[in-house]
Chains A and B, each alone.
Chain A
Amino acid sequence: MQSILGRAGEQISSFWKDVYDTVLNPKPDAPGDTRIAEEARARAPVIWLLGMVGSGKSSIIRTLTGSSDAEVGTGYRPCTATARIYEFPEEAPVVRFLDTRGLGEVAYDPAEDLALCEKQAHLVLVVVRAMGPVPAPVLDALTRVRRRHPDWPVVVAQTTLHDFYEGPGAPAHPLPYPFGDGTRPGGIEALDRSLAAQRETFAKLPGSGAVRFAPIDFTPEEDGLAPADYGIDRLWAALEAGSADGVVSMMRRSLGSSGKPGGGRAASHIWGYAAAAGAIDMLPVAGVIGVPVIQGKMLHSLAGMLGVTWTRATLAEFSGCLGAGALLRFGAQFGVRQLVKLVPGYGTVIGGAAAGAASFATTYGLGHAAILYLSSRRSGAQFDADAVAEEFRRAMAEATGVARASRMFSRDSDGKAGS
């Protein structure tokens, strides 16, 4: 027992040495960074936006990610001849929007996009203007999708509600949001009829997956329509309900905090590091980059985003309050599954998860704990070790649940998704 503890102590110190080295003396590591981005890309949930040009897809991407126009505009990678992928954030995406921009064009074959999304698409988000019938190309493509995947849930965003607002004076959204779960009338006769007609159209879709509706109107601030993100809660609710595995909820939290001042975009970056760390354990050749190095990179980069610099003292304080630093290293040495069973508390969280899921969860938890720690360091507020430990546990539990439910790191479905 003594020897085990002694060896564990050695290993703990050697683990933190790796982390310290990476955090304090970051080395430029282009292949490592690329790998992190790639893994994040491969694991990030894909929301498939289906809609005509000008139906409001870009507004949705902007509003959901809370980013400015430019960030969405530049963060795309052309994917196939007809579709393009918007990634956010660009360096290590939390979410990817597959935008079938050329929908309805000559010789457009949704099969190509289907193949692309088959393993990744968490959701089909159909975007139609609220006024008028559902455009035929959208309906045709969606029908084909549902024939192949009858159980896929569909969320229909009904946009540009303000087209219906008439009368003297400035148009204004009806408040409070009257549409409820997307099926209740809003009080404007023509709008309600048009929305109902669209719902009827979608009701005829083949397949059994639920179809949820979200009447929304996302407009730029200068349009003077308040609120600018009218119906966003309804849209999030529909998306979360459509994604049973919780990935969207987790993504929402990551994206949501990315818009906050102070925290900056730090939270949204954790996903990428966690995804990379989770993937390391599953790769046959893991020697390129290790979990500690990834975690060290993450801590360093989070501090940079928050405008704080790590020192030996703060790192020691942080790892001390986590107390579970050993867990990470043991995970690498013996396999997390065995280890966590020995540790009360944590064992219930990630016990039984695959090694990849465990690395994903611990990295994710570490990142969120670090943000909390660094934020209070920066503001000079009272440092609360329990809160940091609690955040670590909370985030880890969340990530474990998601990784398990979505089987992000299960052996059978892995490997091909990103390539």
Chain B
Amino acid sequence: MKRIVGRQGSWWLGALAAASLPFLALVPLGAVWLWERQGFVYWFLGTALCFLAAGLLFRRAHRSGDRVPSGDGTTAAGEETPPDPGWSPSDKVAWQRVQGFAAQTSGRMLVDQRALLATGRAVIEEVARHYHPERAEPLWHFTLPEALLLAERISRRTRALTVQAVPGSRSVRIGDVLRLYRVKRTVASVAQSADGPWRAIRLAINPVQAAAAELSRRFQGFAAEGLSSLMLDRIARIVVEEIGREAINLYSGRLRADIDELERLEPPAVAEPAAPAVPLRLLIAGKVNAGKSSLVNALCGDVVAAVDVLAATGQPTSHSVRGADDRPALELVDCAGLERETSIPKLVALAENCDLVLWVAPANDGARDLDRRLLDAVRGHFAGRPQFRAPPVVVVMSHIDRLRPFNEWAPPYDVAAPTGRKAETIRAAMESVAEALGVAAADVVPARLDAGMLYNVDAVWTAVLARVPEARQSQLIRLLRLAGSAGGVAGVARQIVTGGRLLSGLVIEGIAGTRTKT
């Protein structure tokens, strides 16, 4: 500044201010004049139209730069927003019910305060009843930290969506400001008064409603009826959907932990190895002598598990694989050989605590009834618990060298387009395994796992890596469950002590707890 205006700059500024003051005074004076003449509305309308025109022109000018939001944001009034990818089947059912409400909303809801509150409450009650049908008052089945997190999340998402999905919403600055102000106050006041969860939710909705009220007051019917009814419908739908979405998060127990915090615990795919991470846990299961320990050794790249012609493994053992290059860190749980159906409870308990199942099935053993029954038991276990998420299953078909012709071993074998008899046999065995075990043919990886004669272990890795995103979802839900289950008296006590760092501690503790159990 000094360089531009020089040493006498303050004098220059003073002079400039004095000269412009009369003109600046015209702004408030003009406003007063408009107000007194009842002309303020026309000015406001004109301003709005100008902004609208400016917005349209701006969009046209910056068509390439103007990014149309994808996903949730492109939703029109009549379209459904897809459920979150990480939701369990039970959550998705709840989401369908929310969609039922969303389909019936109209923009009018926003201008009628009571209608908005009633709809919001109805959505929340519906979701609460879905999750806690056994309770007389399902609405109250959550904790204060959950409610606070909920209010914060609704506000944040609604704002983002409104900005993204409603053209011109940014120009309604008054509502924006008002809402942001009230969001702050909401969280603060709820934290102070702790006057009930419903209040927290209602206050969270209020900013939206306030924004709508502002709109309706300013536009005075004209806007609500004509120009922006589509805009209002969209906002209404977003509001209902967001209330529903967050209600699902609340009552499914997901908010007992802040998802962001959990996400921070996840190891990045290409990790700095030092970052704290919860490695994916793989269950290696299969019949006695199927080659489970050989697979563990192959994946570890080292001899860590005893391999013998006699059943070598008695108890489940855990081995860790350090992540390297494009491979994530893994924890391999080598379950003891499964001999009979009495192993089902043990297997199911292990599967519940793992994120991906590698099922080892020998190619040369046609007795696959037991495999199928064990796998079905695991599937049935998860099917009966929609709040859980079944870990994906990859079948490793071992011992392909023992398939006919025995005296041939000349890898690689192209099973996609078999040329020789061996490749054909492998292909046939894969199809038979896939059918017997009830998995897709693509989920069967043929391999030889004998030490020193490894073949196709890379394909096992590829199959595992392809399932990592899915396995992460299973892991997330599993960890959330752990975080939730540790919320007893001891958990509350720890909450007071450790405050915000609570969750990571719980998660780690939960894992450590189950690890010592298994």
Contacts and interface: CB of A to CB of B under 8 A. Distances in A.
A54 B367 contact: yes
Given A133-B311, A193-B309, A193-B310, A104 B365 contact: no
B407 interface: yes
Contacts of A224: 405-407
Given A170-B407, A171-B406, A223-B404, A132 B311 contact: yes
Contact of A53 (B288, B289, B367): B367
Interface string B279-301: 00000000011000000000000
B137 interface: no
Contacts of B339: 133, 135-136
A106 interface: yes
Interface string B325-342: 000000000000001110
B366 interface: yes
Nearest to A172: B407
B309 A135 contact: no
Contacts, number: 68
Interface residues of B, number: 21
A194 B309 contact: yes
A54 B436 CA distance: 14
B369 interface: yes
B369 A131 contact: no
A104 B370 CA distance: 8
A197 interface: yes
B309 A132 contact: yes
A135 B367 contact: yes
B381 interface: no
Interface in B366-406: 366-370, 373, 402, 404-406
A357 B440 CA distance: 60
Interface range, A side: 20 to 34
Nearest to A225: B406
B369 A197 contact: no
B81 interface: no
A222 B407 CA distance: 11
Contact of B340 (A137, A223, A225): A137
A52 interface: yes
A406 B316 CA distance: 52
Interface in A143-176: 160, 162-165, 169-171
Contacts of B405: 222-224
A52 B367 contact: yes
Contact of B310 (A129, A162, A197, A222): A197
A132 B369 contact: no
Nearest to B289: A132
Contacts of B365: 52, 54, 129
A106 B340 CA distance: 11
Contacts of A169: 407
Contacts of B456: none
Interface in A49-77: 52-55
B367 A104 contact: yes
B452 to A, nearest CB: 10
A210 interface: no
A58 to B, nearest CB: 11
A105 interface: yes
B369 A190 contact: no
A225 B408 CA distance: 12
Contact of B309 (A106, A162, A190, A222): A190
Interface in B401-441: 402, 404-407
B119 interface: no
Interface of B: 288-289, 309-311, 339-341, 364-370, 373, 402, 404-407
7 contacts: A52-B365, A54-B365, A104-B369, A129-B365, A131-B289, A194-B310, A222-B405
Interface of A: 52-55, 104-106, 129, 131-133, 135-137, 140, 160, 162-165, 169-171, 190-191, 193-194, 197, 219, 222-225
Given A53-B367, A136-B339, 7 more contacts: A104-B369, A132-B310, A136-B340, A140-B340, A160-B364, A222-B405, A225-B407
